[in-house]
Structure 1
Amino acid sequence: MESVGRESAKDNALFFTCSLIDYIARKTKNTRVEVVNALGKKNLAKIYDLSDVYHSDNIERVSDDFIREARIKMGNYDNVTACKYAIPSYWDIGKVYKRLIKAVAEREKIEIIDALLKVYNSFVSSKIDDYNSSMYYENPSYLLECYWENKLI
């Protein structure tokens, strides 16, 4: 597997995909699961497969293109404004999701995009997206165990 820097190209692609999802969610004031489901498997695979191209472009323009293509409407979910503490960047959140999705894909022996859809559609996603909780900076193995147990442990 091709490696760029400390991580593989596929890990970087997943990181960018998850970060873009968070960026779009913040911009459109939707939950992350709403953005993932609106984008759909085809667009998610496109972002993942072409992440090296999209990453070299302006994230504002890339997000606008996918918002338009997927017809993502403005929502009223604003976890950034609601945050009472330091707000994690969309890159920070992308890293959290990347680790969890990669672990799920490896353990379940499924494709990355299938794991991405499962993780964002799980209860863990709403917990990670609550920036007033501690979930987004919890140990990756704890997040994975919560995902497997389908509850906070």
Structure 2
Amino acid sequence: MVNSGRESAKDNDLFFTCSLIDYIARKTKNTRAEVVNALGEKYLIKIYDLADIYHSDNIDRVSDDFIRDAKISTADFDNVASCKYAIPSHWDIGKVYKRLIKFVAEYEKIDVVDALLKVYNSFISSKIDDYNSSMYYENPLYLLECYLENKVI
């Protein structure tokens, strides 16, 4: 496989998957864990496997398709509105999760989608998604250590 960029194609696919999760969460005002759990393994694998195709499409249309297909309803979690500072983009947050998920998959020797489910359902997800804290721009290895310790260290 030719790698014409700085990252592998699968890393880019994971980045898009995580960014789409964040985009859907913002659009539906759900936590990221709620979105991941509503999508379930079936849709997460589909997004990850076809990310190179979805990435070329309009993210609003792609997100609408998954919101409809996974029956994700609108909730009232709005970490963007409650943010007092600069709001990170869904791409920024996608990169944070991509790095952490990749580390977890390598460390625990598990599949990327399994690591994705574990990370988004761990305590650290709510910490990353609090844009009034500094967690989302912390060093990726620090986030991994916090995840492994199951607490902020």
SS of the residue 2:57 aligns to:
coil
Amino acid at match of 2:100: L
Distance 1:35 1:82, change over 3 A: same
> Is it true that 1:60 corresponds to 2:60 in the alignment?
yes
The equivalent residue for 1:142 is 142
**Residues 128/51 of structure 1: CA separation in 2 closer, same or farther (3 Å cut):** same
Local SS of the residue matching 2:87: coil
The answer on 1:74 being equivalent to 2:71 is: no
After TM superposition, the structure 1 = structure 2 runs for residues 112-131 of structure 1, keeping only pairs within 5 Å, are 112-131=112-131
Distance 1:117 1:4, change over 3 A: farther
**Which residue number in structure 1 is paired with residue 106 of structure 2?**
106
Counterpart Cα distance in 2 of 1:97 and 1:52: 18
Q: What is the aligned partner in structure 2 of residue 95 from structure 1? A: 95
For the structure 1 residues 62 and 4, does the alpha-carbon distance in structure 2 shift closer, same or farther, using more than 3 Å as the test?
Answer: farther
- Structure-1-length-normalised TM-score: 0.99
1:3 deviation in Å?
Answer: 2.0
- Name the CA shift for 1:2/1:109 in 2 (closer, same or farther; >3 Å): farther
- List alignment gaps of at least 5 residues for structure 1: none
CA distances 1:56-79 after superposition (whole Å, capped 9, x unpaired): 000000000000000000000000
Find the counterpart in structure 1 of residue 5 from structure 2: 5
Residue 19 (1) aligns with residue 12 (2): no
Identical aligned residues as a percent: 80
**Structure 1 stretches of at least 4 aligned residues deviating more than 3 Å after TM superposition:** none
- Give 5+ residue unaligned stretches, structure 2: none
AA partner of residue 87 (structure 2): I
- Which amino acid in 2 is paired with 1:76? D
My pick for the range that moved more, 133-142 or 1-10, is: 1-10
TM-score, normalised relative to structure 2: 0.99
Q: CA RMSD in A?
A: 0.7
Task: Show CA shifts across 1:12-47 (max 9, x none).
Answer: 000000000000000000000000000000100000
